[in-house]
Amino acid sequence: MVYQFGDPNLCWQVWKSLLLDALNRHAPLRHKRIRNNLVPWINPQIKELMRKRDYHKKKAIKYDSESQWELYKTLRNEVNINMRKAKSKYFCDKIQASSQMGDSKSGWAWINSLLGRKHKNANINKLKVNDDIISDDKSITETLNEYFINIGMKMAAESACQNTDALNDQVIYESTVLLPKENFHFADITIDSVSKRLQKLNVSKAT
């Protein structure tokens, strides 16, 4: 069929079309999804349970067998429970290791990773001051610095005016306010305390 045409370009197009048709018929393309992020807490035991779970699921779908469905559900629940336990142990070990090394930054990074928090950096490229647009870094820095230097005194002055206007009301209600008998102090949250709290969580619950 290719040699029926005198134009070499046309012969090439015909040959290419015939070749691709034959390849698609005998060796079609297959799409396979590949996970880039490996789950570090999945151990060989969990992988074996997952393999058995998938095996019985295929059997249950193929034969519509009630016993296969029951086996699949049992293995599915077992995989979920073991995954939660392994994940909990993985993060607890990482947090404890960071605590023992005195690396609080790494410890909080693991805690934020466990909670799904992502660190976001916000860059200020422009500022609108009155009707002017400021875009260079030096002017932005000086403007923000000036704002935060003066904001404290400005708020204090406004608060003083409000307190003067409401002085009579304050005197009236002052006698009815009960002051606490004990002082309240904020306590520092350490990596050890967070780690102990995480270890007490029930891994069999979704929340």
Who has greater pLDDT, 8 or 207? 8
Q: Cβ contacts of residue 98 below 8 Å, gap of 6+? A: 104, 106, 107, 110, 191
Which range is most confident: 56-60, 113-117, 162-166, 189-193? Answer: 56-60
Which range is most confident: 50-64, 117-131, 142-156, 157-171? Answer: 50-64
Pick from 203, 205, 207: which is nearest to 84 by CA? 203
> Would you state the structure tokens that stand for residue 23, as one six-digit string?
């390849």
pLDDT in tens, 145-182: 887 777 776 766 666 555 555 555 544 444 444 555 56
Give the number of other Cβ atoms within 10 Å of residue 4's Cβ: 8
Three-class SS state of 36: coil
Domain limits, the chain: 1-29, 41-120, 123-159
HSE-CB at 83 with a 13 A cutoff on CA atoms is 13
Q: What kind and span of H or E run contains 129?
A: strand 127-129
Strands 132-134, 127-129: pairing kind = antiparallel
What are the phi and psi torsion angles at 205 (to 5°)?
-100, 150
Three-class SS state of 133: strand
Who has greater pLDDT, 72 or 111? 72
Who has greater pLDDT, 49 or 137? 49
Longest dimension (CA), the chain: 109
- The share of the chain scoring above pLDDT 90, in percent, equals 23
| pLDDT value, residue 197 | 78
